[in-house]
Each structure stands twice: as C-alpha cells, then as structure tokens.
Structure 1
Amino acid sequence: MKDILLFFSFFLALFPSFGQEIPTTFKEKAERLVQMRPKTYLTLDTELKSEKRDTTLLRYFANLCEKENYLEGQAYALDQIGTKYRNISQYKKAVDLHQQALELSEKINNTELKVLSLNMLGVVYRRTDAIKTALDYNQKALELAEEVENPSHHIKRSINVSLNSIGNLYQALEQYDLAIVQFKRALKFETELDNKLGLAINHQNIGDCLEKKGDLEGALENYRKSLAYNEEINSDFGRVICKNSLAQIYLKQDMPYAALVLLEPLHEQSKSIGDFFITASIYINTGWAHTKLGNFDKAGKFIMDGLEMSKNRNMPSNILYGYQKLSDYEKERGNYKEAYEYYKKADEYENEITSATNVRYMNDIIVRYEADKKNNQISVLAKENEIVRLRLRKNQTTLLVSALIVGLISSILYILYRQYQSNNEKRVLSLEQNMLRSQMNPHFLFNSLNSIKLYIINNEQKNAVHYLNKFSKLIRKILEASSLKEISLAEELETVELYMNIENIRFSNEIDFKISVDDDINIDNIKVPSLALQPFLENSLWHGLSPKEGKKIIQLNIKKKKQGFISIEIIDNGVGRGAAQTNKENRVLKRKSVGIRITKERFANFSKDYQNNFVVDIVDLFDDKGNPKGTKVILDVPTV
C-alpha cells in the first residue's frame, strides 16, 4: 500500500494537472503566444517559466502549436518535456522528444532551438554512457553556437552547457585534468552571466573530478560551494546531489555516521524528485555506510535496492558501483567467495562499459586517414605498373614493326608505327603526370596530419575541431583536383590560402601571409598544375621562417611579366638559404625534400603543351649591410 501511495504521489509530481482540465488562464496564454509567434528562446521561456515543469500543460501547448503550425513553440515544448523525462530516467522517451524538437528546429532553421536540442540529446546519451554519441551532439552544438556573430544570452548559456557536457564526457573517460579545464572555462562564463545554477553545476563537477583524483579536501570545498549556490536558488534537485556527494567523501574519510546524517533524509526527497539515477546512488552509499558500521542486514538491503533500480533503468555506471559495494559488503562479512564473485561481475561490467567508450571514436578518425593514405599509395603503384606495361607494349611493337619493314610496304608500316608510338608517348606522359600528382598528395597530407597530431597531444579540443574542419575542406579540394591535369590559378590560390591558414595555426598565427594579384590578370583563365605552389610555400615556412625570431612574412605576388608569361613571386623574410642549409646540416634527423624537384618536373611536363617553357629562379635577398633578409622564388609560368 505504501509503494502504491508513493507511486501515485510521484505520478502527480510529474503530471500535476492529471485528471484536471487545462486552466482557462493557461489556454488564453497559449493562444496568445501562438498568435504572437515569438521566434526566440528567451521570449518563450519567459512566458512559460511558471508552467515549464508541468508536462500536461506543455503537451497541450505543443499540440496547439502543431495544429496552428507554430513550429518554434512546438520545438520548445518538446525539449522541455524531454528534459522532464530525462530527469526521471525515462531516457528512450527523452531521446524521441528531443529528436522531434531538433527536426522541427532544423526545418525552421532556428539556431537557438537547434543548439538546445543538440545539447539535450548529448546530456541524455551521456546519462546512458553512450560517450561517442553524446560527444558528437555536444560538439555539434558548440560549433553551431560559436558561429553566431552576436550571441544572445541563451546562446551564451548553450555554449556553457556544451563545455560542461564535453567536460562530463572527459570525466567519463577518466581524463580528469582535461575535464577540469572544460569545467573551469564554463565556470568563468557562468560567472560573467551571473548564472548561479551553472556555477552550482560546474563546482559539483569539479568536485567529482578531484574526488576521483584522490583530492578529497579539494572535492569537499567544491561540493560545499555547489551546495551554497543550490541553497541560494532553492534547488531541491541540486541539494540532493550535493549532499550525496558530501556523504560519499565522508565515507571515504571513514566517517559513516556523518554520512548517514546526510543520506537518510535524501531517500524520500530523491524519490519525490523522480531521478532514479541519483536515488540509486544514494541507496548504494547508504548501504556502504551501514557496511562500515557493521549493520549488515540494512547494508545488504540498501545496496541491492540501489542495484535493482540501476538495472531496471539501464544505468551502467550505477550497476558497476553497486557490484563494487556488494563485493566490499561480502568481504566485511567474511564471505570471501561471494565477495570474489561480485568483484568478478564488477570487473566484467567495467570492461563492457570501457569497450563502448569514445576511444573507438578517436580511432575512427585515425583509421580513416590511414586508409586514405594507403589508397593513395595503391593508386601510385597502379599507375607505375600501367606505365611499365605500356613501355613493354611499345617495345614489342617496335620489334614487330622492325621485322616487317621489308620491301615495298616498309615505308607504310614505318608511318603507322610512328603514329602508334606517338600515341603511346602521350599516354605515358599523361600517366607520369598523374603519378607525380599522387606522390604530392601523401607528402602534403603528411605535413597536415602532423598538425592534427600536435593538437591531439596538447589536448586542445576546440582547436582540434576547428583544425579538422579546415583540413576536411582541404582534403576535398585535393580530391576534386586529383582527376584533373590542370586547374585554374584562382582555384590554386584558394587551396594555397587554406593550406597557409592551416600551417599558420601551427605557427600560433605568427605568419603574415598576403596574396597580391595585378588588376590586368584574370586568374580564372590561367591554368597551372594542382598543388604546384605548396612545396615552395612549405620550403619558406620550414627552412626560412621556422628558425627565425620576430615578425614572419610571406608575400605571394602574381604579375604580368611579358607576352605569354605571368610571374609568380613567393617572398619571405626568413633566415636565407645559407642559414637554412646550416640548420639542415646540424639536424640529427635529415629528411630528404623532394617536393620542389617533383614540382619542377610537373611544370616541365605541363609547359610542353605551351609555346613557352616554365622557368624557376631562386634569389637570395640582402639588406644594405649585406646581411641575409629572406628569399624570393620567381616562377615564370607560360600562358600561351
């Protein structure tokens, strides 16, 4: 009977308007909002603040919005209902509601509501330990929010939610230092917004990370700060979480009585809130406290009750926690066999959880790029084999024609042979150019992937995502150009600018890179081999500017030199070729640079289709005192 009454009271807390008619005042408010059709989250949240926890009223509002085709209001209501279901551990229903809200937000292209739905989906999946999926949603929300030029208050809050969620994902991966960095960033922004709820959440999260690292005093300090903010905003949910965390610290400090003083009042409070994730943790901690006090009957019941709650609602981390505490409980009772069995279950469950974490997500990125690199190498080998096959065929034909050049038909056979030979030479030349371009791509990707590796090593999440976006655009341009013998100079300059943007990130944005094109040059009509300028820029970066102190400049000038030519100048203010050569000889590891040599060969083959030849000249620059002040590369490219 007691359980039935408890369920009924919980049901009424979730659906306070159940069994009652919708109040006339709310109907009028809902109809007024549908007529006004506000577009911003702030307006909707302000109007519906007092009703946002009542799912019955929100359902009514959502249905009315759907009927009147007011998609902003419908998306807002569905997200709020989904949040309510999430807080009572109804994760499947929560995901469905947030997904519906996201589809509506995308349909009307409302950034505020899209970011809200993405963040809420990330939170739900994090609760079920679906780390990869959660990270995808929160990163997408963060990228979308940070693209807004003049962010609203809600967008700023959403950025903090994303940072907090990403921090929680690092926390789930046991990368506590990285998680604390994210929480402290969010803490700074929440302070600027004077959002006490956000301050409470982030102090709670920092406390949890410090607890996992073994810094119990630091954890206590942050939990108490979080509790103070929750008291200030009168949040029952926040108070329950903070007191459970404080009790957990007391248990680790071997103070079970102090822990029970906090835990026992939380049993009914947590049930009334309806979040069984925290209720299960409270029950297991209560069992842990009674284990320390030797109250084994109570201890076993509380731990088993918490474990059953976790199993029934698919909460993996709490199931693991329950098995661990059951093992400790049986050990304290002297039942070492049972303790070992529970220990094995906990170990098996921990391995199962670990296998589904985000490690696979990062490995997917590495495997994807390794596969691309291998495919490129296979393509190069295939082209080389084709060249050998054609040359063999040409030799066989030569022998055959030589044997048949007799008598009156010798001249005719010779003409036919020359035509056949000419066609083969053109095919060989085309394949050689393709091969050279394929060799450039792995060389170029090698340098770019080093940049990505640098950010992964430094664990700079935002920069890594930003870098990967630029890198994907560059890969797309390379793939588009790979099937073409030549591209326009305009496309080449776009690719070069993207390359320099990527490389400049690795140089901490110290490179001042500018492109100058004479007004009388139409770069759309001028053709060059793809990725022809990149090796010269790379040479300036890594041999000229890398060892240089102070301001670093690269200027790329496109000029009209004379009839049938344009001149491309690449000027840097680096250390000069002499110093660069000395630095190269002093290196322990020397890498053979083939990029410029290959580019010259490509330009030479390219210019065979034009009346004029390609010319390259490298000039050392000196100041008035004769000191090196950089290098100028001059490329004279034929246009006719």
Structure 2
Amino acid sequence: MRPKTYLVLNTELKSETGDTLLLRYFANLSKEAGYLEGESYALDQIGAKYRNYSKFKESADLHKEALALAEQANNIELRVRCLNMLGVVYRRADAIKTALDYNQQSLELAETVENPSHHIKRSINVSLNSIGNLYQSLEQYDLAIVQFTRALKLEEELGNKLGLAINHQNIGECLELKGDLEGALENYRKSLAFNEDINSTYGRIICKNSLAQIYLKQDMPYAALVLLEPLHEQSKTIGDFFVTSTIFINTGWAHTELGNFDKAEEFIEEGLEMARTHNMPSSVLYAYQKRSEFEEARGNFKDAYEYYKRADEYNKQISSATNFRYMNDVIVKYEADKKSNQISVLAKENEIVRLRLRKNQTTLLVSALIVGLISSILYILYRQYQSKNEKRVLTLEQNMLRSQMNPHFLFNSLNSIKLYIINNEQKNAVHYLNKFSKLIRRILEASSLKEITLAEELETVELYMNIENIRFSNEINFAIHVDDKLNPDTIKIPSLALQPFLENSLWHGLSPKEGEKMIDLNIKKKNDGHVTIEIVDNGVGRGAAQANKENRVLKRKSVGIRITKERFANFSKDYQNSFDVDIVDLFDNNGNPTGTKVILDIPTI
C-alpha cells in the first residue's frame, strides 16, 4: 500500500501501537523497502511509548530520527506530528525552552497548509494545548485557559473525546492553581467522564489523582485515600512514573493529614525515589515540599526547614531566569504575529504616511528607514527596561524588610506591564514601565533612609496608586489634599509609611466594591506639634472585608500595618510628642457601612 498520509497509516496500525516489538519490526521492513513514511511513523510511535515510561532521552532520540525521515520524505503531516511529540517529551522533562521551540515550529508548519487534513487540525490543537501549558508555567492562568478553551472548541468540532478529556484536565489544573477548587472539580469530573467513555485507563488514573488532590486541599483526606489507594498498582502498570510518583506523594500527604506518620513517610519517600530515578525535577520538588510539611506536622522543625531549602533549590533550577525570559520573548513574538488588527493598524499608518508625502518613492524609502529606526530603538528600550526591571526585582528581594513593599504588588505590576507587551500595546507598556521604574527608584532610595520629607512620600504614594490603578482598570479616583498652612518639604515622615494603609484600602475596601471607588488623602495641621494624615475610602467597610477574607480559599496574613506602627513608634522617639493611629468605620444615616477612615497623628516637634 505504501500510504503517504498519517490517517491511513494510523488506521492500519493503531491497534498495534502498544506492541513496540512489532513496531520495530515494521520500521526495519520499511527501511529495507525504502518506505520513509512507514519507518518514520513506527519510530515516532515507539518514541511516544518510551515517553510514557519516562524514558525521555530514548524517546527524544526516536522522535528526532522519525523527524529526519519525515523531512526526507517531504511529508508535512508526519513532520508536524514529530515536532509536537518532541515538544511534549521536553516539556515532561521540564526542558521548557526546548519544548517551546518544537511546539512553535509544529504550529507554524501546520498553519501553512491551505486545506488541512483531520490530522493537521489535531496537530494544531496539540500545539495550542502546549502553548497553554507554557502560559501555565508562567503562572498566567487566565491566558492559559483561553488557549485550552480554544483547543476545546476545535476538539468538539472534530469529535475527538480524547482531546476533550485532555483540555478539561488542563483547565482544571489552571483553576486549581488559581484557587478555584470547585471549578477545578467540575472540569476534572468532565475529563474523567470522557476518559470513561473512551475506556482510557491512563486518563482515568490522571483524573482520579487530580480529584484526590482537590479533596486534600479541601481537608478531606479520607475521600482522597479512597481514590488514591486503588491507583498504586494500576499506575505502575502504565509505566508513567511522572504520574505514579505524584500518586504516591499525594498518598503520603493524605496520611500526614490523618496523623499516620509511618505510612506518610513511606509513601512520600517512594514517590521521591521514583522522581530521582527517572530524573523528574518537578516531581522531586513536589516530594520535598510534602516531606517538609510532613516533618513540620511531626514537630521536627529542623528537618522541615532542611527539606524546605531543598525544595527551594529545585524550584530555582526549574524556574531559571533564562528559560522564563526566553519564553516571554517567544510569546510576545507569537501573539504579535497572530493579531491581525495590529497589522491593519500598521497598514493604515503606512497609508497616512503615503498620503502626506504624496506617494513619493524617495520619501517612502526615507519613511521606511525612519520606521525601522524607531522600531529598533523601541526594541532596544524594551530590552533595557526588561533587564533593569529584573535587576530591580532582585534588589527588592534583598531589601524587602526595609522597604515594606508587598512582593505581590511588584509581581502583579510586572505582570500587568507584561500583558501590555504581550498585547503589543507599546505606548501603555512604556508609559507604565516609566512609572514603575520611578517608583522602584524611590523605594530603593527611601529604603536606606530612616525618614524622608512628606513631599517625597506623597510623590511616591502617587506613583504607587497610579501603578495599582492599572489592575483596577483606572476605576479608582485618588486625590491628595494638603492644607495650605503646611509645607510638605519641611515635614519628616518614616519612609514608605503610607503604602500599607493605601494597600489595605485598595484590596480589602475597594476590591470587592461595585460602582464608584474613591480614596482621599488629606493632610491637615492638628496643632503646633502634630500633623494629621487621613486616608478615607468609600469601600465595603471592615466588617464586610473581614467576611470576604474568611471566605477566601487561600489566605495571606498581612503584617504591613503592624510593622508600620512599630516604625512610627521608633520614629516618634526622636520627638517630644507621640504618634497615634486610629481606624474609624464610616456609616450612613441608616447604619450602612460607607467606608473606612485611617487617621495618623504624626509628631513634628
């Protein structure tokens, strides 16, 4: 027959793809007969089998050999398939940079086909799924869900239940990482239903392990063990030690929660040994994290700290700065190339230039050179800003206790700016990057000073609010009112003292509020020895904010205000008068909460 298409080859041989001995025999026969497509198909299928047994090096070598044969045969379907499979192998081995290279090549090649076959469409979905996994690695979960959802719709059109199961599983993982455990459960159960429908043992094991992990996060260890215990032997039969190690580690986690420390240690150690033996860094990291929690639960805090340090070291190895910078660059390029509206805008701009310059060929050439020069300058500036921001973030990590600036704010600000870059909104990106760089510079300068002038503090606060307002879609009306009797340049205040109170107003008062959102910063002269600073918001009030905090799945303890009060106490020792901090709940005539007022009395003499 010597079929050339993947569909015919797979139809004839799909039932035999589990038999690597037969596939190897078929590959050798094809080689003797000079049948390149047959040899490529067989080697690719054997490589996939090796991958599922966590033999990543052998798998990658086979896929590369299959790719070379597909290129020699000039068969796009097989080339696309091999490139995607190489991406999957390297992603499973945590080699994110290499994985992205192969998946990107596969997607670009598949999209060049004018009338794509069923297999090409499936390969496009695999590539989209891989890009979604990349966003997930970057902790851009919403963007990842967009990619998985797009692939989900395409899989529905193709009627591919396996693809539907995989994408529901991936969406569930993103929702779980976001803290939406109910949404994650819903998608895991949908994935399990599809796997049951196609009778996929492999898929069932993955889904049940994911469901058990949710139950553990919901403090239901007994329910988790009901799912996990039957998987111990089942998972060993499929040979995927990435999945098996996670199942054993989760079983250890469940026994830790139940106080069965001997069993917990046994299962965690067995999962850790699998991860080490098969060179799976992310699984080793997960095992160390759970071993640290286990030692803490047992009261062995020294051992818990040692395992915590090992986990941190592995995390640094996996999330290397080089890989993340590379991924960001590729994603920006990919998203920019995919946005047709950006191409349309550039076409309109070129049309305006042509009209203004009377379509003079010489002038067009000059204009093209100018556009190229500007683009080069913007690119250089972007790279410089990126490099500077990385150095600033590292410096901030070393000076965090002195600057009192929340690391979540820094990370979210960089993410917001990064989203502008991803969306190719260069003006917004440069605008807010300028503001962010000024704020970081002020933080670094202020962190080395015990006190600064009120004028400098207000400038820093205004920069901070401008940056935070990005994430609120500029819905916050922020205003500073200074009494005419006061000279802010002569009044001293502890550096970076107002930011924790503004952060509290933003995230506890205004974040859950619907409608108009406002913060007023009022500075008044109280008497000859004191200045009063009022921070007034029209948020939901402390009662509702506390209720919202208790309802959150993931809670974070804030110590910023307590530390700021201690700093004010140390600051006031140098003055004759003391300081005072008061928080007042605001209500309307009907007793409904209308916001919160923070009153700071600062000594000036």
- Under a length normalisation based on structure 2, what TM-score does the superposition of the two structures give? 0.58
1:293 aligns with 2:258: yes
Q: How does 1:420-439 map to 2 (within 5 A)?
A: none
Q: How does 1:168-567 map to 2 (within 5 A)?
A: 168-355=133-320, 358-362=323-327, 456=332, 462-465=334-337, 504-506=343-345, 531-532=365-366, 534=368
Whole-Å Cα distance in 1 between the matches of residues 101 and 156 of structure 2? 27
Q: Is residue 97–residue 327 contact of structure 2 (8 Å, CA) maintained in 1?
A: no
Task: Report the alpha carbon displacement of residue 362 of structure 1 after superposing the two structures with TM.
Answer: 4.8
Q: Is residue 504–residue 510 contact of structure 1 (8 Å, CA) maintained in 2?
A: no
Task: Report the alpha carbon displacement of residue 533 of structure 1 after superposing the two structures with TM.
Answer: 5.0
Could you tell me which amino acid in structure 2 is paired with residue 354 of structure 1?
Answer: S
Q: In the comparison of the two structures, how many residue pairs are matched? A: 370
Whole-Å Cα distance in 1 between the matches of residues 258 and 279 of structure 2? 30
Find the counterpart in structure 1 of residue 30 from structure 2: 65
Find the counterpart in structure 2 of residue 75 from structure 1: 40
Distance 1:75 1:536, change over 3 A: closer
1:56 aligns with 2:28: no
Whole-Å Cα distance in 1 between the matches of residues 370 and 65 of structure 2? 51
Whole-Å Cα distance in 2 between the matches of residues 352 and 233 of structure 1? 38
Could you tell me which amino acid in structure 1 is paired with residue 257 of structure 2?
Answer: K
Distance 1:502 1:177, change over 3 A: closer
Secondary structure of 2:16's aligned partner: coil
Secondary structure of 1:267's aligned partner: helix
Q: Which consecutive residues of structure 1, in runs of 5 or more, have no partner in the other structure?
A: 1-35, 366-454, 468-500, 517-525, 539-587, 589-640
1:149 aligns with 2:114: yes
Could you tell me which amino acid in structure 2 is paired with residue 464 of structure 1?
Answer: A
Whole-Å Cα distance in 1 between the matches of residues 81 and 224 of structure 2? 37
Could you tell me which amino acid in structure 2 is paired with residue 348 of structure 1?
Answer: E
Secondary structure of 1:208's aligned partner: helix
Could you tell me which amino acid in structure 2 is paired with residue 314 of structure 1?
Answer: N
- Under a length normalisation based on structure 1, what TM-score does the superposition of the two structures give? 0.55
Task: Report the alpha carbon displacement of residue 114 of structure 1 after superposing the two structures with TM.
Answer: 0.4
Question: What is the aligned-residue RMSD (CA, Å)?
Answer: 2.8
Could you tell me which amino acid in structure 1 is paired with residue 314 of structure 2?
Answer: Y
Q: Is residue 130–residue 357 contact of structure 1 (8 Å, CA) maintained in 2?
A: no
Distance 1:109 1:335, change over 3 A: same
Find the counterpart in structure 1 of residue 90 from structure 2: 125
Q: 1:88 aligns with which of 21, 30, 53?
A: 53
Task: Report the alpha carbon displacement of residue 464 of structure 1 after superposing the two structures with TM.
Answer: 2.2
Deviations 1:84-111 (A, max 9, x none): 0000100000000000011111111110
Could you tell me which amino acid in structure 1 is paired with residue 287 of structure 2?
Answer: G
Deviations 1:323-347 (A, max 9, x none): 0000000011111110111111111
Q: Is residue 173–residue 357 contact of structure 1 (8 Å, CA) maintained in 2?
A: no
Secondary structure of 2:366's aligned partner: coil
Task: Report the alpha carbon displacement of residue 505 of structure 1 after superposing the two structures with TM.
Answer: 3.7
Deviations 1:54-93 (A, max 9, x none): 1011000000001111000000101100000000100000
Secondary structure of 1:150's aligned partner: coil
Task: Report the alpha carbon displacement of residue 529 of structure 1 after superposing the two structures with TM.
Answer: 8.4
Q: Which consecutive residues of structure 2, in runs of 5 or more, have no partner in the other structure?
A: 373-430, 432-605
Distance 1:311 1:328, change over 3 A: same
Distance 1:464 1:530, change over 3 A: same
* Percent of aligned pairs with the same amino acid: 70
Task: Report the alpha carbon displacement of residue 348 of structure 1 after superposing the two structures with TM.
Answer: 1.2
Q: Is residue 336–residue 342 contact of structure 2 (8 Å, CA) maintained in 1?
A: no
Q: Is residue 48–residue 59 contact of structure 2 (8 Å, CA) maintained in 1?
A: yes
Could you tell me which amino acid in structure 2 is paired with residue 531 of structure 1?
Answer: L
Q: Is residue 183–residue 206 contact of structure 1 (8 Å, CA) maintained in 2?
A: yes
Task: Report the alpha carbon displacement of residue 532 of structure 1 after superposing the two structures with TM.
Answer: 3.0
Q: Is residue 118–residue 138 contact of structure 1 (8 Å, CA) maintained in 2?
A: yes
Whole-Å Cα distance in 2 between the matches of residues 363 and 332 of structure 1? 38
Could you tell me which amino acid in structure 1 is paired with residue 37 of structure 2?
Answer: E
Whole-Å Cα distance in 2 between the matches of residues 86 and 209 of structure 1? 24
Distance 1:82 1:536, change over 3 A: closer
Distance 1:146 1:264, change over 3 A: same
Q: Is residue 287–residue 299 contact of structure 1 (8 Å, CA) maintained in 2?
A: yes
Task: Report the alpha carbon displacement of residue 177 of structure 1 after superposing the two structures with TM.
Answer: 1.3
Distance 1:503 1:172, change over 3 A: closer
Task: Report the alpha carbon displacement of residue 528 of structure 1 after superposing the two structures with TM.
Answer: 5.4
Whole-Å Cα distance in 2 between the matches of residues 357 and 327 of structure 1? 28
